[in-house]
Chains A and B, each alone.
Chain A
């Protein structure tokens, strides 16, 4: 179960926690991180160029400077490349605002996790 993962969160510590948890479970192959939506888009562009592997999972924070999670989802939808549909976007946020869940759902994102991430939550996600 070797997944390529992209972590998008402005909190470096949070990216670190997710990466460490994935590594402990031994489910990740390549892990990259971005500090906001724009950086994530830039990284995805280098995936297209073949520099790094296309991610299987994107863990996405919502509240970020420069480009937030919602804006990223919008921009991601407009991207055009093969295998895009195989990428699983998982919202990972500390927000407990029900409107955020609603908004993410309306953008077609059905995987929603509240922080902190844990081994159990990742195993549950990978079960499906």
Chain B
């Protein structure tokens, strides 16, 4: 026990304090003794000295150990309280222990005091550690419950989003079968087209789920990136989408074409936002535009992607980053797209915001710190 102890001793007899001091010195304890013998002194001592140990005589002129123990508990000072007293009945000693005293030592047997102090301190430490472990466990448990709830929600929503197109295919198969049985083949091709649409929708959802899981699991990998190349790659990848070629795309790069970032994650961000700009283009506009601006600074990269599409209603703008939220009937996926973008930007330690006006267009702005590190 190397810790320096602040010992508050409640004792009216100066000689008894000296006896205690001698015993503690004998055992080479490092300590300071603070003697008090009145209630207000005791209270002050508890608050100002914040002792590690309290030693208390049983009866004092205006005060007694039962009250002293009660006060120390009420103050919330969880330190060993040891009764140091003349002869007491066994019954009295038991009562004291029951009330929460940690030990009692008879003045006639003071050589027991040092070990009583050390043991009580150890016990308190163990107790404190146990409580801390309990609290940590409780916290962890709460977190697990939350994660489980999220997982439940995820499973149900995903199963729904996977089942929907499957059930459409099944429904179309039922209709086709009945028509074939009655030798009516006229609409089969139409049904095949719809089956294909449903299957593609299912595939979109599956891809979103894989993106989601990839971002959640994989470590951030920083590499040298050619911005122009990566943006062009994302645009090419999406050129099969209906309407993709009608949109005039402009890329503007300022402050250097090379940045250091996680290429896969950057692609997920660009692909999702650009595909939104394509899906939600405004067919009433003759000139459909998509402007991608990237500015790299020494400490961050700012990306702004602006379209002149149909825009988002003000009521939905704040919800577009929510999991499984779909703000429009045009949406074909599971409502994970922008949620994944948000999660990915988070993982890169960046910030994302969206600004939109119905019939005018949407602007997504992203800031990613330079040389990002995983925040999760």
Contacts and interface: CB of A to CB of B under 8 A. Distances in A.
Nearest to A20: B175
A11 B168 contact: yes
A42 to B, nearest CB: 13
Interface residues of B, number: 26
Contacts, number: 75
Interface in A28-68: 35-36, 63-66
A65 B156 contact: no
B329 interface: yes
B171 A117 contact: yes
Instruction: Provide the main secondary structure of the chain A interface.
Output: loop
Contacts of B165: 11
A66 B329 contact: yes
A13 B194 contact: yes
A94 B194 contact: no
A115 interface: yes
A20 B168 CA distance: 13
Contacts of A1: none
B160 interface: yes
A65 to B, nearest CB: 4
A94 B165 CA distance: 9
Given A35-B329, A65-B327, A65-B328, A94 B171 contact: no
A96 B166 CA distance: 13
A13 B198 contact: yes
Interface in B190-222: 194, 197-198
A36 B329 contact: yes
A96 B163 contact: yes
B174 A116 contact: yes
A58 B322 CA distance: 29
Contacts of A94: 160, 163-164, 166-167
Contacts of B160: 63, 93-97
B286 interface: no
A14 B171 contact: yes
B55 to A, nearest CB: 61
A7 B128 CA distance: 63
Nearest to B178: A24
B175 A21 contact: yes
A118 B160 CA distance: 19
B326 A115 contact: no
A46 B156 CA distance: 35
B191 to A, nearest CB: 9
Contacts of B89: none
19 contacts: A10-B329, A13-B197, A16-B194, A21-B171, A21-B174, A21-B175, A24-B175, A24-B178, A64-B329, A66-B316, A94-B164, A95-B160, A95-B163, A97-B156, A115-B164, A115-B171, A116-B168, A116-B171, A116-B174
Given A13-B171, A13-B197, A114-B167, 16 more contacts: A10-B326, A10-B329, A11-B165, A11-B168, A13-B198, A17-B175, A20-B175, A35-B329, A36-B329, A65-B329, A66-B327, A96-B156, A96-B159, A99-B156, A115-B171, A119-B178
- 10 A-B pairs closest in CB distance: A116-B171, A115-B167, A65-B326, A17-B171, A94-B163, A35-B329, A97-B156, A94-B164, A116-B170, A94-B167
